[in-house]
Amino acid sequence: MHYYEALAEDIRTGAARLLAEDVGPGDITAQLIPERQWARAAVVTREAAILCGVAWVDELYRRLDPRVQLTWKAADGDRLAVGDTVLELEGPARALLNGERAALNLLQTLSATATRTRDYVDLIAGTGVRLLDTRKTLPGLRLAQKYAVTCGGGHNHRIGLYDAFLIKENHIAACGGIAKAVKEARNIARDLPVEVEVETFDELDQAIEAGADIVMLDNFTLDDMREAVRRNAGRVTLEASGNVSEATLRDIAETGVDCISSGALTKDVKAIDLSMRITHSETR
């Protein structure tokens, strides 16, 4: 399945899953509200952020009640300031409240991923280095978080175990060496990129000689990264990984590597603080 088709399906199934876990057979508290009660509401951010998750929220409320009208004041990838109104909603009061928590949970998490990514991207601005995510995503949110990374200005590494080869230490040992592993990868799928993770200069030389497309420098020191760049001389793409943080990111980028991958973009983000409030209510 094509990436964008998979993402569209993820939006549909993700919205359904969010509603199933929260609303279940029905919101019993919302039943306190008269069925004919109509309301307007607004979602406001309490902290600066990069917005992400619009399509999931649209789909969520479409499934709840197509009468709900959503007016977005920002788009995915936009910067939000403290106090900004992100979204205005109008429709049956019950439906607005049915979807409140599911919508906010999703928006807060994906916006957090986009925000962390933008922070990191800003730190390496001007270096020409690409920031990559990893498979260290929150369970069930793989495609959604990888989409959020792109909204923050980052780039996606492989989506899963099926769309690119990443030959690590155990693969190398089981295959009988880097050259054999790379050769077998080419035999299996010539059209997919082949990446080799290395820990030493000798392994780097082997991976380059074997014809890898990308070499991941695993926990190399800054000096060793510079030496790896010199040895490589532009023959393959060099990816730095390990010990990546706000404090080290710029220094790593300035070694001359082509890209930096970081699990921190997705695995340990803190949700953005968003709030939804009813601004008007009337009986219809």
- The residues carrying an active-site annotation are 101, 136, 168, 197, 218
The 10 Å CB-count burial string (b at 16+, else e) for 59-77 is: bbbeebeeebebebebebb
Query: Do the beta carbons of residue 194 and residue 158 sit within 8 Å?
Result: no
Provide the Cα torsion 138, 267, 157, 213; round to 10°. -130
The 10 Å CB-count burial string (b at 16+, else e) for 39-50 is: bbbbbbbeeebb
Query: Do the beta carbons of residue 94 and residue 35 sit within 8 Å?
Result: yes
Give which of 23, 14, 6 is closest to 52, Cα–Cα: 14
Query: Do the beta carbons of residue 112 and residue 105 sit within 8 Å?
Result: no
CA 148 to chain CA centroid, nearest Å: 4
Task: State in Å, rounded, how far the first CA of the chain is from the last one.
Answer: 45
Give kind and range of the element (H or E) at residue 120.
Answer: helix 93-123
Q: How far apart are CA 21 and CA 102, in angstroms?
A: 9
Query: Do the beta carbons of residue 84 and residue 111 sit within 8 Å?
Result: no
